Amino acid sequence: MDTRIIKGIITLGSLAFTVYLYVTEYWGSAIGMTLVTIVLGLTMLRSIRMIFVFFNLQQQKVDKAKKWLGRINPNHLWKRQQGYYYFLLGSTTMETNLTEAERHLRKALSIGLRKDHDKAAVKLNLAAVASAKRRTKEARMLLAEAKKLDKKGMLRNDIKMIEKAIKNPRVVHQRR
């Protein structure tokens, strides 16, 4: 059974019990259950395992992040979360298998990502893969798209590094 359905049923039950507590005027318990219902609602919308993956990647624990990614069934994620799942999977497999990483990153783009800087990061990773596979024309095109999407300049240093790698193909391609 899909975990989203189970989470939804539990959240709706919690919401119904919270309303019951308000109607019967148990204010203290009702306020406490309101907080519980909010937490349950948030866990219904977000995958806890994806949160652990982001947390481990932020602390640069790639092995633990890969372990958590392996525990996730992408079919049990919401559509947008699936895009981030494939983005993370592609980013973590770049060091070992470029072809597989490229496939995952392209799938992330086709499913869709919410923020422009996330799309820019995917295109930047794809540019690094294309450059490593000696497809410089495609790498330059992806890099230009990444520059357009990176409006806040969050990836400026990484873009410069990939530009240098495209100009000098002997540079080892790595993405932090």
Give pLDDT tens digits for 32-80. Answer: 999 999 988 887 777 778 888 888 888 888 888 888 888 888 887 778 7
Confidence (pLDDT) at 19 = 94
Residue 91 CB neighbours (<10 A): 22
For the chain, the average pLDDT equals 83
Per-residue pLDDT, 176: 43
Distances (CA, A) of 22 to 29, 30, 33, 131: 8, 6, 10, 61
- The ranges assigned to domains in the chain are 1-45
From CA 131, how far away is CA 111, in angstroms rounded?
Answer: 24
pLDDT in tens, 9-28: 988 999 999 999 999 988 88
Q: What is this structure's pTM?
A: 0.73
Nearby residues of 138 by Cβ (< 8 Å), 6 or more positions away: 127, 130
Model confidence at 170, pLDDT cuts 50, 70, 90, reads low
**Which residues 6+ apart lie within 8 Å of 37 measured at CB?**
11, 14, 15, 18
